[in-house]
Structure 1
């Protein structure tokens, strides 16, 4: 491998060990089928789904559904932005490429697909959207999170991402959703305060 074994971190060694152990399964029909299904976690499908939920909520005049759609779209957008920043500063060989041609992880700004393993964008986006759904509709929190988990975990046997790529992607998605909720609460609180002040001034007149 281009990077000497002695220079690998403990985490990198663990990632490579897992990848080598399951790499033989990546061409199995079940893994391929699950991998194709997980493409719903790619950016265009998730953006389209989020926008559709928002639009449906507006058309039906369903405030909760519209808010969830807006949260989904905002959370996914923030998660994607953070993920992109990290990808642009870290070059890491994708597992399938590492198996065939060697592994490396270092600072850099390569836009080559084979060096864009860290972190997992599918995971970041799927977790961000799932958390937005779970917050708006607690009754479907478990199915939403399980779906996001499935999108994330299948990336490992199909050799698209290492375990740590998935973990960091999930953290980014979760943090993005939490941040959007905090911003939304702040905006709603400010809006209520402004309306209260306006009503108070109107009553004084």
Structure 2
């Protein structure tokens, strides 16, 4: 087998295993995570709480998080999904009803995961405590995307990489631009 064939087979196995996860946590918590993550509501709400409850550092972290989230969504949804067409995991791998509610867009990469990781990483760079709290939500979003059958694990990994890159760019770009101009 080639490395690509091994990756595809591993993706299918992990997707099957994650979709068959039937613990109370999977049945009760992951649907709520999905609802909160739709349209990035979870991250907008978190940024609002940070800005309202915190000081300058928390407001700065919230703004950086939203900027990284927006860049991650742009890169994953408007660029990558347009360039790379990948079908969602096949229905026979998914034993529950969530499979009927999947998007029609390309599976690669996970835009939800990109947004979650971008927000969380940018927040953590300025406010480690809030970043640690956001990590729980970001991990839950990533797990939910595979459990629901919306994505393969490699889609989620690619989304996470885009989120990390977006947070890095948001943190570094202003300084790089200023150095170039001056």
1:91 aligns to what? 85
Deviates more, 1:48-57 or 1:150-159: 48-57
How far is 1:174 from its partner? Answer: 0.7
Alignment CA distance shift 1:23-1:149 (3 Å): closer
How far is 1:34 from its partner? Answer: 2.5
Alignment CA distance shift 1:17-1:67 (3 Å): same
How far is 1:187 from its partner? Answer: 6.3
Aligned ranges 1:127-166 → 2 under 5 Å = 127-166=117-156
Structure 1 unaligned regions, length at least 5: 1-5, 101-111, 194-205
Distance across 1 between alignment mates of 2:174 and 2:45: 20
Aligned ranges 1:1-205 → 2 under 5 Å = 9-25=5-21, 30-39=25-34, 40-46=36-42, 48-49=44-45, 52=48, 56=52, 62-84=55-77, 85-95=79-89, 97=91, 99=93, 113-186=103-176
The question of whether the paired residues in 2 share the 8 Å contact of 1:122 and 1:151 is answered with yes
Q: Which has the higher contact order (CA 8 A, sep 6+)?
A: 2
Distance across 2 between alignment mates of 1:117 and 1:168: 11
What RMSD in Å do the two structures reach over aligned CA positions? 3.3
TM-score, normalising length: structure 1: 0.68
TM-score, normalising length: structure 2: 0.76
Structure 2 unaligned regions, length at least 5: 95-101
Q: Which runs of 4+ in 1 moved over 3 A?
A: 21-26, 53-57, 96-100, 184-190
Alignment CA distance shift 1:166-1:72 (3 Å): same
